[in-house]
């Protein structure tokens, strides 16, 4: 594994196992079995590390949606499907850890997400469904993340699948009009 990737995953592991308040360059260096100077060679400060976490996760998230879009007739369906794939995936470096680290450190660090969301929102609205349904699909997807991230009665994968199929039906009904 590339050293830079190892550091990003180490930072995410610190967040998930020890909490946001323990995310320091020293803790990440220790998690990765390297010196702080070695870590600083790749990431000069904590903000650079968190920015890289969010850049990578936002790009992977958008890629999951684009991959789903190759199989679906609707960008809204792809958004929901890609969101659930990322939500239920086993990636150590994930949306929850990267967003939480950014918000706790400096809310401006979520900029990669703002840019990705603008692009995805535009595609969802041009998908042949109402702006309202596109917003519902995005907000349901985000709500599933929120429930999972904060352990607020997260839905099982089976329950998520039922919601996905329900929204797919609504999307198809609107596209057929």
**Separation of alpha carbons 167 and 52, rounded Å:** 33
Q: What percent of the chain has pLDDT over 90?
A: 80
What is the rounded average pLDDT for all residues in the chain?
93
Give the predicted TM-score (pTM) of the model: 0.89
On whether the CB atoms of residues 144 and 167 are closer than 8 A, the answer is no
The pLDDT of residue 48 is above 70: yes
Residue range 107-114: mean pLDDT, rounded: 88
The pLDDT of residue 133 is above 80: yes
Q: What percent of the chain has pLDDT over 70?
A: 99
Token pair listed for 104: 């706790």
Residue 90 backbone phi and psi in degrees, to 5: -105, 15
Q: What is the pLDDT of residue 175?
A: 84
The pLDDT of residue 42 is above 90: yes
Q: What is the pLDDT of residue 1?
A: 67
């Amino acid at each position: 594994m590339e050293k830079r990737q190892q550091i990003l995953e180490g930072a995410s592991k610190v967040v998930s196992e020890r909490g946001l308040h323990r995310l320091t360059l020293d803790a990440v260096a220790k998690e990765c079995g390297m010196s702080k100077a070695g870590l600083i060679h790749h990431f000069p400060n904590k903000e650079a590390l968190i920015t890289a976490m969010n850049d990578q996760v936002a790009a992977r998230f958008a890629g999951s949606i684009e991959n789903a879009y190759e199989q679906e007739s609707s960008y809204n369906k792809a958004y929901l499907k890609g969101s659930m794939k990322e939500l239920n995936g086993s990636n150590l470096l994930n949306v929850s850890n990267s967003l939480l680290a950014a918000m706790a450190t400096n809310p401006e660090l979520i900029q990669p997400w703002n840019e990705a969301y603008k692009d995805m929102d535009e595609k969802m609205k041009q998908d042949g469904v109402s702006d309202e349904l596109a917003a519902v699909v995005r907000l349901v997807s985000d709500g599933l993340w929120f429930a999972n991230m904060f352990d607020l009665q997260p839905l099982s994968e089976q329950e998520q699948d039922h919601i996905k199929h329900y929204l797919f039906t609504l999307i198809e009904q609107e596209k057929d009009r």
